[in-house]
Amino acid sequence: MKKTLFFCWGLFFVLVMPALAADKIGHVDLARLFDEYGKTKEYDAILNSKERAYEAEREKKVNEIKQLQDKFNLLSDKEKDAKKIELEAKVKALQEFDNQRQAELLKERNEKIKEILKDIEKAVSQYAKSQGYTFILNDRILVYQTKDTDITDKVLEILKSSYSYKGK
């Protein structure tokens, strides 16, 4: 058993380790690439603007419901029955509005994230191929890495050169 184990380790060091040593390995800070990419900043601004518009429209609807509720308490029982249906319809419309808009915003956000991640993947691939890297890893999965394997700044340069951010 010991001879087999010793043989396997020996074989590993003789055959696999030289191959790994010959490979050029780097890593990137994916979160930093994502956050500092101009397209991310631009899309964030667009989505924030849409979210503010949604909130303003929602606030109008909520205020209408509040006004209707305030008036509702002053009505006679007969009038309450008629207004109750209207109030319930407005509450239901608000819920549908919330669900629809939140789903739309989430879908758009996810599409933008996917697009940005494709851009980052393309830039990493472009840099890796041009510099002869075999492996580029995401720093979040690494337990230990040295600064000299970090290519984040170089990939960020590619991203910045391929996309011009028009915002602040």
Distance CA 159, CA 34 (A): 10
User: What's the pLDDT tens digit per position in 128-137?
Assistant: 999 999 989 8
Instruction: State the alpha helices, DSSP H only, in 73-166.
Output: 77-131, 152-162
- Residue 154 · residue 127 · CB < 8 Å: yes
Rounded Cα distance between 136 and 147, Å, is: 14
Quick: pLDDT tens for 9-61.
444 444 545 555 558 889 999 999 999 999 999 999 999 999 999 999 999 99
Q: How far apart are CA 2 and CA 83, in angstroms?
A: 86
Domain 20-162 architecture = 2-Layer Sandwich (3.30)
Q: Domain-by-domain residue ranges, the chain?
A: 20-162
Contact 28, 138 (CB under 8 A): yes
Count, in order, helices (H) and strands (E) of the chain: 6, 2
Residue type at 28 in one-letter notation = V
Return the pLDDT at 11.
43
pLDDT for the residue numbered 92: 95
Tell me the one-letter amino acid at 124.
V
